[in-house]
Amino acid sequence: MTLRVLIAGGGIAGLTAALACVKAGFNVQVFERADALSEIGAGIQIGPNAARVMNAVGVGDALAKVSSVPDYQEMRLGQINQNIFRSKLGTYATQKYGAPYYLVHRADFIDVLGDVLNAKAPDALKLGKSVTGYENTANGVKLGFADGSYVAGDVLIGADGIHSTLREAMFGPEKPRFTGNVVWRAMLPATSELKRLIPNSMCIWVGPEKHCVTYWLRDGKTLNFVGAVERDGWTQESWVEPGPKQDFVADFGGWCEPISAVVDAAKDCTRWALFDRDPMPEWTDGNAALIGDACHPMLPFLAQGAAMGIEDAWVIVQSLARAGGNIPAALLRYKEMRHPRTSKVQNAARARMHSNHERSLLGQLKTYAPMWWTSRISPSRFDARYDWLYKTDVVAESVANFGEA
């Protein structure tokens, strides 16, 4: 039987799940509340673990054309521009992990996913459909919309993001915790000055009570800046809320020349309050399940939020492909496979928030001196610190865990 899969949400996780469904031979429909596929102006990191899934769903070549590849990952002291460590990425990461480390504009990524889906399943994407809830039925599941209509299917995948309507329908309202951090984001066109000052790396600039990240997008034509600052009094969790330039200057304008130059050149910037959520114990309800930010929204400090949604998308579809008619069991199996890994990443990202913001000189020495020393004395050992993250191959593991579809 060809499964009828309903997906709520046309973001990165939802579109990846749709492409995985097409590959599996399912009848898939994606419902997106916006009238057009779009994303805010922001960069995103796609580690090798997620790039493998992109290759598996047939997006790898198209993604490569719109992505940049950093030469290094590095950390610097933001106030004085002192290098703490530098790890090779680029071709080294591809050789080591078997897939590239990409930096891509979210809008470009969404365009690629949408274009490939439309080419492979022209009628799959439904725009302007705002989800209001769902209902498990004797024959599957019903998905309801704000216009009063509904659609029936065999299984529902909730990929509707951090403020998920389906998560609330399943488990009730959430109570996230404000982290005490406000995040700034800015996108800047390349200039000769910025190119001179900002390296072609995924660079973390750390300092007391704040840090920021810079990297180049679109063949070096656009610089992405993200900065987190410890502060009370701002609790708007929105990526599109404009931030006053004077506040941006107050937070980062006194740092080293490269960061000061970014702050001076930024025309528009946004800010949002950063909230933390504990790992959820349950992700499924009968023939419905959540993926990505809908079930494990995480802090951005490991740059793995989208990657975890991409991994989820592949695993849930592979589990469904081996359901043997028992969809609830397949969804529970998916959750059991994914929960330990996503919880580990959530907790690791939380820990990074604190290590990036060491306040005292003693704290900085305790945290950064071992990084400096190990990266120089034993580079291979230092580079292996993220092997647990990037070497994970859910494409291969799905066969090992589930068997051939």
**Residue with structure tokens 């793995």?**
304
Q: Are 281 and 315 in contact (CB under 8 A)?
A: no
Task: Return all residues near 92 (Cβ < 8 A) that are at least 6 apart.
Answer: none
Q: Is 198 helix (H, G, I), strand (E, B) or coil?
A: coil
Q: Report the alpha-carbon distance of residue 195 to residue 220 in Å, rounded.
A: 8
The set of catalytic residues is 215
Sheet with 131-137, side-by-side order of all strands: 131-137, 140-145, 150-153
Q: Are 60 and 68 in contact (CB under 8 A)?
A: no
Q: Are 115 and 62 in contact (CB under 8 A)?
A: yes
Q: Which two tokens stand for residue 157?
A: 């995948």
Handedness of CA 63, 66, 71, 75 (dihedral sign): negative
Q: Is 129 helix (H, G, I), strand (E, B) or coil?
A: coil
Q: Is 231 helix (H, G, I), strand (E, B) or coil?
A: coil
